[in-house]
Structure 1
């Protein structure tokens, strides 16, 4: 076996461990797709659509990855030919004509043909050549102004066609764009090339054409200054489907190029000439016409051929867009003297790596060096690349659980909830993969809980008859019981909260006792898990059963839904500070409900025992049951319980402890208010 084959196999196994196995990547994509599908009907009802894009959506989970989102209004219809306007109801939609004559390749103008459907778009048009055209500058300013006025986000700035900001310390890009169901004639050569090279596969090609493209608010900068009337064609949705169609070796090679770009080429460089989009474009070209054998023992050669393509593009100063080759994506960067000098320096840098050879070149990557150095230094070492695919049930379930619980379906009102629930029911009878089915199951539980509390909050009426109250109570109870049957272990605590809210303390205690007994099982998967016991216990269980019996997660209280009085103040203050939900550890909530219910029933000894359990949990926990990001609210909950039972000094201490934690829920004002109440009582 050649040295390159040995290094390739070690690299493949290492990249599977670092980036993900085929199963893990599939999980990430299917869960993300299903989450977007579930939320689609409610968003369409509100006249808006969006989609996640970028490396996170493609299946990568780099720590440095940002979150990219594209959004568009559904009452605008973009056409490429006047004849297409006949198919649209002019009373419901603004018709916009995409013009690609006398524009640089890859750029278009948007002419508004009909009266606008809103006053907003009316203020964003400018006259040009006997027509009204939409200004990309004014359109781009709209989301930027919105995010600034909201005041919830940090470091808001404009970045290309996007508004860039930090949400919960995550770097995020949002682009408000237009969607076009038709493909521009500029993409004709790409469609012709598909038939010559037979890539992507037929079903992927048909799917891409059926979903159209987007137009983002940024003009060309060939002459140095941006043209206000030009918009750039975006193929983010098509690119995502092309990445999905890659085999795993191709996907890992793509990831390897991204790592090389970040850790080597762009390291310590502020103004970067190359970005990850050029790497993606390189992959598309090399897959379609590159004559490469894409397999694990050839990964080194795959990377090297892609690297040489990138080097050639930098040398020539030409990076052809994959869909519109006449669009040289380096043009705007080379429009200034500084850009030309940067390209020359970059070519010198890349050529230096080329002269080193592929193995020594990759040794400059800290991440990759750990994977291949042992094999390079010892000719007797050999790693089976397929071992990188082997993961235990616990490892796969951790990946699946992390992806599913990252989904947050925030409903604005009862009607949104109704649309989502009705669509979930229609999805449940379709043919789905096991990961899509489990995602749907988790979302069903969430929607049932939200439906129950939204109904409870909207149906509260002091003049209701006993019969109406009974029916409402029965409906809410049944929804929460059903959620408990399809959701995870902690989902049953919503029913306990409802019983507590409606003064049925014994029923609430019965539910919390059952949940607590399940939480103590050795195979429970929360933020940590005993892998050995988990693998032994769940062997033979279906994914659905694993979630219902072994998975535990935080209780999420959304800002627009009232749950119980004890959290009302925290929810309001947290919402005012831009947080959409409170997250509570199920271990903390179980003890809290036990304290409060026993106190209301006059069971003093049980109440004090539960309070002691809660104190002990927070005092000695190392993050296993109360993660650090939940400790601010957890200490606050302990203080509330102590305050209720009359331990004022203990409550004050707990509130002070809460202030010392990292304020992830932004409830500092609540803590100070509750501390002031305690001090006032102590002074009296």
Structure 2
């Protein structure tokens, strides 16, 4: 599920953001693991540069289509190579990293790494071939810039000949067709350490992990946990000798050397133990052969001498404890006790994961990936919609359909506010406002409960306070349901009973709530401008606000113009729901600085055509979703009422608050923030919630309370 969602997201992003770079998540996250504290590894490569292994391969490219580099491994250790420049590079960073060796120009790995990281990854530290960025969530993001090669390395030909039973032949052909990459790091003992590049098989490893059966994948995960929580638990970053790639190499070798009957569900602990003994053997011998290029000893220059001896003593101590050493893995300790008490030392693997647990992981993946779109202007929206329209006509899994649904909701939301920003033309003012409202209702149709708040926010921004309050009340009713899942907070039994028989698309629309993400490329509300500016100052492109906080904020802002008494009550109640010391507002997703929001066109005519084109694409995508059965058989835009039951016209007397409503609104706000009785605010969002409360308090003139909230 996780891999399918990430594959789709990467496909969309790489097709839309045509800036000459492709990106791919690699490592544990790409494999499908979500271990606490694991790094997020991302590879970037220049799309118009390619590496070849011999000059005959130049015939595969049109002249001038690609900048070509020739791999020269003759003077490098196995698994490493020099990259000779054949044609002029298309980027200044690569040109500045060229050095001359024996009258031949090569691209220096160390210089290229330094130049690209300074320009593209500021405020990061060097970590091997990567640039590492540490975030407030204690997650390290590693960015590696590399070159792509469309051909399989000649030094890895022996791997093809070894593939008799695993992986299957179609997987082998697929791996060879995808080629390899070159990352900017040289061998520690190489003659040209600062110039060499390491051959990377990340694409091949991705295919091989997908080819694992369930037992093999669990064994791989158990090895990674054992490394993280038992072997390296008392080591700092610089003292860690074994890494997760060594675990992956061991499981690859053993899968290929052992027959399929060995990898069966009741044999999990035996599979783990065989892998551990192989790693112990490698440590004793000081040899860890690369799975694709066995001549490449990955321990050479890394684990030798005293380090090798101390590591072997540590591993042998765990070996003497036998399978009881698994008890040193805190995250699965209770499971280990049950397994180790079993005389057969087998692990049950036929138990199905519950509905609640699976849905939590599914929607977490959908929202973490689906909200991470670069939508700076209308041009980007159109490109994304064009890509989505083409993907709708391709075979999609049930998880990818939900992912596309989330992408569509985010694009519609951005498109609506972009249309509103550019409605300063009299002839288009009424049209763009009408289209923006319809797009936001479509977004609520595709998205979750929290997405209804975009409608309320738009109504507030356009001074339609009564309509905004109507949407707020409707959202309150939906969020008050006992089976509504906010991130992972919900009663599992009530949730499972409520979603029985429902599709994931309908579950997301009616039962799921999530944080509302505001990218700083758009000024969503003037009142949120300080938070968006703060996110940009801290190098984060977006801020995430809990739906309950945003709901109370919009309600307070609307009631300020209708009933100041109740608005004060909302702030007071929200204030009493937040406790703890606020910290700087940062976003969970913060990989790059968002470029400034640009005007989509200078001329009125060009702008009008672009906005109309954007709107056409939005409704064309909505129509396709209707055709593939994501929505019920009903009209998307019914006369008089919207798709989600929100009236298009609300009489003024319907939502006219009483005179005490404004103060009551502010009191509710303070109560939510300070007490958080229903766990409606995630621990990482308390600082953000407190600052928003301070904004509302400042509007009421209570500067002392506002200062306390901001502090």
- For the aligned pair, the TM-score class normalised by the smaller chain equals 0.7 to 0.9
C-alpha distance in 1 between matches for 2:308 and 2:504 = 51
Q: 1:117 aligns with which of 83, 86, 90?
A: 90
Distance 1:324 1:382, change over 3 A: closer
Deviation at 1:250, TM superposition (A): 0.7
Indicate yes or no: 2:680 matched with 1:625: yes
C-alpha distance in 1 between matches for 2:405 and 2:388 = 9
C-alpha distance in 2 between matches for 1:226 and 1:91 = 30
Note the 1:74-473 alignment, pairs <5 A: 74-146=47-119, 150-151=122-123, 156-168=124-136, 169-194=138-163, 197-222=164-189, 227-270=193-236, 271-291=239-259, 293-333=262-302, 339-356=304-321, 358-367=322-331, 369-374=333-338, 376-377=340-341, 385-386=348-349, 389-407=351-369, 408-457=372-421, 459-461=422-424, 464-465=425-426, 467-473=427-433
Task: List gaps (5 residues or longer) in structure 2.
Answer: 564-656
Deviations, residues 378-421 of structure 1 (Å, cap 9, x unaligned): 75x9987145x323322211111111121222334332222222
Deviations, residues 78-125 of structure 1 (Å, cap 9, x unaligned): 222323323434444322122222322111111111122122221110
Q: CA contact under 8 A between 2:693 and 2:709: conserved in structure 1?
A: no
C-alpha distance in 1 between matches for 2:307 and 2:384 = 50
TM-score by length of 2: 0.81
C-alpha distance in 2 between matches for 1:145 and 1:514 = 49
Deviations, residues 611-653 of structure 1 (Å, cap 9, x unaligned): 2322222232146112222222322323333333x3x23x531
Q: Secondary structure at the match of 2:486?
A: coil
Task: List gaps (5 residues or longer) in structure 1.
Answer: 1-26, 660-684
The residue aligned with 1:4 is none
Aligned residues: 610
Deviation at 1:130, TM superposition (A): 2.9
C-alpha distance in 2 between matches for 1:413 and 1:210 = 36
Q: 2:472 aligns with which of 509, 512, 532?
A: 512
Q: Secondary structure at the match of 1:142?
A: helix
Q: Secondary structure at the match of 2:205?
A: helix
Q: CA contact under 8 A between 1:636 and 1:655: conserved in structure 2?
A: no
Q: CA contact under 8 A between 2:16 and 2:387: conserved in structure 1?
A: no
Distance 1:368 1:629, change over 3 A: closer
Q: CA contact under 8 A between 1:31 and 1:439: conserved in structure 2?
A: yes
Note the 1:508-547 alignment, pairs <5 A: 508-527=468-487, 528-547=489-508
C-alpha distance in 2 between matches for 1:229 and 1:354 = 40
Deviations, residues 220-255 of structure 1 (Å, cap 9, x unaligned): 1226x7522211100112112211211111111112
Q: Secondary structure at the match of 2:505?
A: helix
The residue aligned with 1:665 is none
Q: Secondary structure at the match of 2:182?
A: strand
Distance 1:608 1:72, change over 3 A: same
The residue aligned with 1:65 is 38
Q: CA contact under 8 A between 1:143 and 1:163: conserved in structure 2?
A: no
Q: CA contact under 8 A between 1:633 and 1:658: conserved in structure 2?
A: no
C-alpha distance in 1 between matches for 2:204 and 2:691 = 47
Deviations, residues 169-211 of structure 1 (Å, cap 9, x unaligned): 31121111111111111111111212xx231123322322222
The residue aligned with 2:666 is 611
Q: CA contact under 8 A between 2:222 and 2:272: conserved in structure 1?
A: yes
Deviation at 1:555, TM superposition (A): 1.2
C-alpha distance in 1 between matches for 2:4 and 2:363 = 13
Deviation at 1:570, TM superposition (A): 2.3
Of the two structures, which has the highest relative contact order with CA contacts closer than 8 Å and spacing of 6 or more?
1
C-alpha distance in 1 between matches for 2:341 and 2:484 = 42
TM-score by length of 1: 0.84
Q: CA contact under 8 A between 1:92 and 1:117: conserved in structure 2?
A: no
C-alpha distance in 2 between matches for 1:632 and 1:361 = 41
Q: CA contact under 8 A between 2:43 and 2:144: conserved in structure 1?
A: yes
Distance 1:557 1:276, change over 3 A: same
Further displaced range: 446-455 or 178-187: 446-455
Q: CA contact under 8 A between 1:635 and 1:655: conserved in structure 2?
A: no
